């Protein structure tokens, strides 16, 4: 790499680096300093999308603009990627034009291929296996509302998907207890839970959402059908017992937060009364994508 560093996954980074990104993110959020406006002056970020996005795309574009740089967006349909040009070749070419690349990839191995061949920092904007930018915003949001997340209990109820996997990474790096409640066939890879154990973390998997939610400080869920998955009737049936509704929230602490990376499907994975309720921090979480990603960009590029 010419200069800078990749932001590929939380488990690939140490706790100190992640904490420094969040500290910087909060400084950006609070700041009206003129020097922020010129931090990335003259820098250009490429955003490559193999899947749709609202939050990731706009928050990275706005982050670059507010830090003095610019962003360009490339999607499969309007680039040679859609006609089969390899990610390795795309990485070599983009590295001659831009200072960093964010990618939302269908397959995690595409992210790794991009990172291997790019000469500029690469940021994971979601793959089938993880969503680390989301987690940085989620940790920031929890801590703004409830103080340090270390030692607290977070419950994941639903599909053991890419976001759930990043919550596992986060539990280890930020030192909180994570209880996952997922259907047997939609649980995260056992190897990842084993990894958490070898790291000395407290990550447990159950198939009973109530057990996982008991006394929790925060309950989190996500769509039942991630991009690339098939929305089948059996999937819906499997996930129905993991819906986050008021009955499930009643097992958590009375002031337990509710989080969701969005987009949400009201009255499917989450009851309207929960996502629109007073302990839901989903809009703050979405807003913090902007600030957390400024922290990530600044860590990658300066
Ligand atoms: N949470 C999230 O990444 O949203 P988008 O798919 O809109 O980017
Ligand atoms: N798990 C979801 C997250 C969307 C931001 C998906 O991959 O579609």
Say what the pLDDT of residue 35 is. 72
- Residue 248 CB neighbours (<10 A): 25
| Catalytically active residues, by annotation | 104, 131, 134, 222, 261, 289
Q: Where are the beta strands (DSSP E) in 10-94?
A: 44-49, 70-75
pLDDT in tens, 253-299: 999 999 999 999 999 999 999 999 999 999 999 999 999 999 999 99
Say what the pLDDT of residue 84 is. 95
Say which residues have a Cβ less than 8 Å from residue 44's Cβ, sequence separation at least 6: 64, 69, 70, 71, 72, 97, 98, 99
Look over the chain and give the mean of its residue pLDDT values, rounded to a whole number: 97
55, 128, 296, best to mutate for ligand 1 pocket (most atoms within 8 Å of CB): 55
Say what the pLDDT of residue 1 is. 78
Distance 41 CA to ligand 2 centre (A): 32
Q: Where are the beta strands (DSSP E) in the chain?
A: 44-49, 70-75, 100-104, 122-124, 153-157, 177-181, 202-206, 218-221, 257-260
pLDDT band of residue 3 (cuts 50, 70, 90) is: confident
Say what the pLDDT of residue 268 is. 97
Backbone phi, psi, residue 179, to 5°: -115, 115
Residue 88 has pLDDT above 90, yes or no: yes
Say what the pLDDT of residue 173 is. 98
pLDDT in tens, 213-255: 999 999 999 999 999 999 999 999 999 999 999 999 999 999 9
Distance 52 CA to ligand 2 centre (A): 10
Which ligand minimizes its atom distance to the CA of 261?
A: 1
Say what the pLDDT of residue 166 is. 98
Residue 78 has pLDDT above 80, yes or no: yes
pLDDT band of residue 36 (cuts 50, 70, 90) is: confident
Say which residues have a Cβ less than 8 Å from residue 14's Cβ, sequence separation at least 6: 173
Distance 134 CA to ligand 1 centre (A): 8
Kindly report the pTM of this predicted structure. Answer: 0.97
pLDDT in tens, 57-70: 999 999 999 999 99
Q: Which atom of ligand 2 is nearest to the CA of 159?
A: 1
Residue 98 token pair: 């831009």
**Protein residue closest via CA to atom 6 of ligand 1:** 53
Say what the pLDDT of residue 199 is. 97
pLDDT in tens, 130-155: 999 999 999 999 999 999 999 999 99
**% of the chain beyond a pLDDT of 90:** 96
Instruction: From residue 159, give the alpha-carbon distance in Å to each of 34, 205, 234.
Output: 43, 12, 13
Distance 127 CA to ligand 2 centre (A): 9
Residues having CB within 6 Å of any atom of ligand 1: 53-56, 126, 134, 261-262
**Protein residue closest via CA to atom 1 of ligand 2:** 226
Say what the pLDDT of residue 32 is. 74
């Amino acid at each position: 790499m010419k200069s800078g560093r990749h932001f590929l996954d939380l488990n690939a980074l140490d706790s100190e680096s992640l904490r420094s990104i969040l500290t910087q993110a909060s400084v950006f959020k609070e700041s009206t300093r003129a020097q922020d406006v010129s931090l990335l002056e003259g820098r250009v970020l490429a955003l490559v999308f193999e899947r749709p996005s609202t939050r990731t795309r706009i928050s990275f574009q706005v982050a670059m603009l507010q830090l003095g740089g610019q962003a360009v967006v490339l999607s499969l349909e309007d680039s040679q990627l859609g006609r089969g040009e390899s990610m390795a070749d795309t990485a070599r070419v983009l590295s001659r034009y831009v200072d960093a690349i964010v990618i939302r990839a269908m397959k995690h191995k595409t992210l790794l291929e991009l990172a291997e061949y790019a000469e500029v920092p690469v940021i994971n904007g979601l793959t089938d296996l993880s969503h680390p930018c989301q987690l940085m915003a989620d940790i920031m949001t929890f801590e703004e509302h409830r103080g340090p997340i270390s030692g607290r209990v977070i419950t994941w109820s639903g599909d053991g998907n890419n976001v759930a996997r990043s919550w596992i990474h986060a539990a280890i790096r930020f030192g909180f207890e994570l209880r996952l409640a997922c259907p047997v066939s939609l649980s995260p890879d056992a190897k990842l839970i084993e990894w958490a154990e070898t790291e000395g973390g407290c990550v447990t998997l159950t198939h009973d959402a109530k057990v996982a939610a008991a006394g929790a400080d925060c309950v989190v869920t996500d769509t039942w059908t991630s991009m690339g998955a098939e929305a089948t009737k059996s999937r819906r049936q499997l996930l129905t017992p993991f819906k986050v509704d008021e009955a499930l929230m009643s097992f958590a602490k009375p002031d337990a937060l509710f989080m969701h990376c969005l987009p949400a499907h009201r009255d499917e994975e989450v009851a309207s009364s929960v996502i629109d309720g007073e302990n839901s921090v989903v809009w703050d979480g979405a807003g913090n994508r902007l600030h957390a990603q400024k922290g990530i960009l600044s860590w990658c590029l300066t």
